[in-house]
Structure 1
Amino acid sequence: MLEWKRTSEIRAGDVIAETLTEYETGETIVHMGETVSVSIKERLVRHGIEWILTESRETYKSPIKPILSPEVLEEMEKGVKKVYDAVQREQKIPVEEVSTLSRQVVRNMLSNYGDVVVPFFSQMRTFDEYTFCHQVNVSIIAGLIAIEVYSGDRETAEAIVAGALIHDIGKLVVPKELLNKRTSLADNEFELMKKHVLYGHQMALDSGIDNPIILHEILYHHERIDGSGYLSGLKGREIPQSARIIVIADVFDALTSDRVYKMRWSPYQAIGYIIQQAGKIFDPYIASCFLRLFGIYPVGTRLLLSNGREVVVKGNRKNALTTPIVADIEQEEELIYLDRQKGLFVERVLYDHKED
């Protein structure tokens, strides 16, 4: 409920419901949505603000909400497992189910898509779940990039999400012992593994899929901008744009997931790798779209600020690459928009582990 309060009466936990600026200088005093703290209260008093519009924490709707709700994510996990179970039974992709799932995902994405992006990913509970969780996460990342690249074109985004949901479908033909091998693959084993893109592409054709966006994602998601990928060794613009999108989504989720043969990287490390490899294995433009959405410091990254405060990243404002929305590790209710804080910046990343 909105309520006018004397500045002396506002308390920690109240939410500022209006943006106030200094009349002469135009400098912002407080932003709408900021949670009242001791420093904010002192700032209001210092500027002579006697009354301010507030809203209680109980009724305030935070601008920080995931791009997909936990319920939608759970439905995606069930849907992908259902698709893969059907393929194993019938050796064909249930095209209508994939199409329906992609429409639902994009509809939910667009309804939550705005200035603040908070991705919410599927979490693997056992190594056997990697395939399903990977398809879900790649489709979320690829869908977000597609919305950014294609300016919200729903039909194209749906096709890219559909392709992402089944991009690794050909691995169902690859022997399971290769997929779960704990040591490096021998040359002949790797050659067999690489053929999963051909198996998946043929399966899609046999199932009646003729959308080139989807087919390109399945066939070319291991191609690299510098020509070092497989199977065709395409370079640069020879790689269709839908495949250039899914390459980043595929690599980011693979790097940040535990596998039987490697420990996961932190999202911050994976972001660094994508920046480093832009122009080499990743399309620089697609990489820049990815960074506009995810920022340098992805959600969940722990940071030390220049004032000595330890915080965790809660979200990212689009294009605010180095100034995420954070919250104190001990008091996560109070949001701090670093792009609105003069003189406050990220000192360093905390608790980040180094890949062996």
Structure 2
Amino acid sequence: MALKYRRYVVGEIKPGMVLGTDALSADGKVMLSAGTVFTEATIRLLAAWGFDSAIILEDEAVGDEVREKRLSERMLFNAKYEETVSMVRDAFDQIRYFEEVPLKKMQHLSENALLTLTATPGALGYLHSLRDVDNYTFQHSVNVAIISGVLSRWLGDDGERMRDMVLAGLLHDVGKAMVPLEILNKPGQLTPAEMEVMQKHSAYGYEMLKKAKVLAGDVLAGVWQHHERLDGSGYPRGLRGGNILPSARIIAISDIYDAMTSDRIYRLKMTPFHVIKTLFENMFDKLDASMCTIFLNNLKDYFVGTTVELSDGRLAEVIFMDWISWDRLTVRTSDGECIQLGEHAEQKIVRCLQA
């Protein structure tokens, strides 16, 4: 097996090598982000911070030209993504101060930067290395826009419908700009009263956007209904079944997937494989079963071949995913051992290094 990632001791790292996964401090802070191209200076910093090793991107299956092309594509994606997140942060600040959504700016972002990011091969995988708990609200809006666009394309939607889903994903949480920061950024569990305030964000967003009178109904529904669930357990209205429009069903799946695979103030992110199992468990009562099936079947193709880190520190490649028992995976380690993972298996996946 030609592993795409390998652990190097710091003394073996050379300028030009690419960091394969975030270099985290003992308290979970990202010191260097995945995708960083090492220089003499960053190698010295890694040693000064006390790291004894790092996981390096090392794709032996392709030539230098292909490797450089992939690296260039990833760096362009990262730069466009960070620029977009910064603009969304500015937009949220504007909403908080003026109680008005800068809609033209958000539409421009959606139709230009976000559609480009959505069309990038490997976009969902790139998102897993672009996580910053301090920017969660803004990154989440960008991520849900990208995931919603990808899912819309997988569902066979045309260009206009897909553009609406990207915009709905970008706008789905604008109402959070009206939630007090002490609640939005609270590091612990919310009280029932605080949760009641937080759950008003979808209605806040809907009311602000409705005033503009220029957005498609699908976009507004995606913002208003993305926390509704088919069994009536959602909010803000406890809608059931056919009362929840398709756009909201797409945003709901995207929202859950991104939220669970992101670090939060109060918990660390889960691996995509754990989230896939959670989506499967909820697709028969809370989420749209047909949409979930298409989403999960496409993720199967996405994640077979993924490099993961096991609980014993070894790197391995996912070679099979069992879609009847969703918690079962088969991986092959760098030394050739094939291991079947499951709920009661001794080995666990602790990190997804490439998606």
Same fold (TM over 0.5): yes
Coordinate RMSD, CA, aligned = 3.8
Paired residue for 1:44? none
SS of the equivalent of 2:316 reads: strand
User: Does residue 256 of the first structure (1) align with residue 264 of the second (2)?
Assistant: no
Paired residue for 1:352? 349
Determine which of 57, 80, 100 is the counterpart of 2:63: 57
User: Does residue 92 of the first structure (1) align with residue 100 of the second (2)?
Assistant: yes
Paired residue for 2:204? 199
> 1:67 Cα deviation (Å)?
12
> 1:353 Cα deviation (Å)?
4.8
Instruction: Kindly tell me the number of residue pairs found equivalent between the two proteins.
Output: 277
> TM-score, normalised on structure 2?
0.66
| Contact kept in structure 1, 2:141 and 2:171, CA below 8 Å | yes
SS of the equivalent of 1:69 reads: helix
SS of the equivalent of 1:162 reads: helix
For 2:317 and 2:154, how far apart are their aligned partners in 1? 25
> 1:195 Cα deviation (Å)?
1.1
SS of the equivalent of 2:101 reads: coil
Determine which of 75, 86, 90 is the counterpart of 1:78: 86
Deviations 1:205-228 (A, max 9, x none): 223443111111110010012111
Determine which of 281, 286, 307 is the counterpart of 2:286: 281
Paired residue for 2:219? 214
Paired residue for 1:147? 153
Paired residue for 2:188? 183
> 1:301 Cα deviation (Å)?
5.4
| Contact kept in structure 2, 1:303 and 1:313, CA below 8 Å | no
For 2:70 and 2:279, how far apart are their aligned partners in 1? 28
CA 1:128–1:60 in structure 2 vs 1: closer, same or farther (change >3 Å)? Answer: closer
| Contact kept in structure 2, 1:274 and 1:287, CA below 8 Å | yes
Determine which of 222, 243, 254 is the counterpart of 2:248: 243
Paired residue for 1:19? none
For 2:79 and 2:267, how far apart are their aligned partners in 1? 30
Which structure 1 segments of 5+ residues have no match? 1-33, 37-55, 331-343
> 1:249 Cα deviation (Å)?
0.9
User: Does residue 168 of the first structure (1) align with residue 165 of the second (2)?
Assistant: no
Of 182-191 and 269-278, the range deviating more from structure 2: 182-191
Deviations 1:286-325 (A, max 9, x none): 1112113322874855278xxxx942469x9xxxx9999x
SS of the equivalent of 2:341 reads: strand
Question: Residues 26-45 of structure 1 correspond to what in structure 2 (within 5 A)?
Answer: none
CA 1:293–1:323 in structure 2 vs 1: closer, same or farther (change >3 Å)? Answer: farther
Paired residue for 1:27? none
For 2:350 and 2:183, how far apart are their aligned partners in 1? 28
> 1:269 Cα deviation (Å)?
0.8
| Contact kept in structure 2, 1:146 and 1:160, CA below 8 Å | yes
| Contact kept in structure 2, 1:200 and 1:219, CA below 8 Å | yes
| Contact kept in structure 2, 1:194 and 1:230, CA below 8 Å | yes
Paired residue for 2:296? 291
Paired residue for 1:156? 161
Paired residue for 2:109? 101
Which structure 2 segments of 5+ residues have no match? 1-58
SS of the equivalent of 2:349 reads: coil
SS of the equivalent of 1:265 reads: coil
Paired residue for 1:265? 270
> 1:182 Cα deviation (Å)?
3.4
> 1:143 Cα deviation (Å)?
1.0
CA 1:172–1:107 in structure 2 vs 1: closer, same or farther (change >3 Å)? Answer: closer
> 1:144 Cα deviation (Å)?
0.5
Q: Which has the larger radius of gyration?
A: 1
For 1:256 and 1:109, how far apart are their aligned partners in 2? 19
Instruction: Name the structure where helix makes up a greater proportion of residues.
Output: 2
CA 1:216–1:66 in structure 2 vs 1: closer, same or farther (change >3 Å)? Answer: farther
What percent identity do the matched residue pairs reach? 30
SS of the equivalent of 2:144 reads: helix
For 1:73 and 1:351, how far apart are their aligned partners in 2? 31
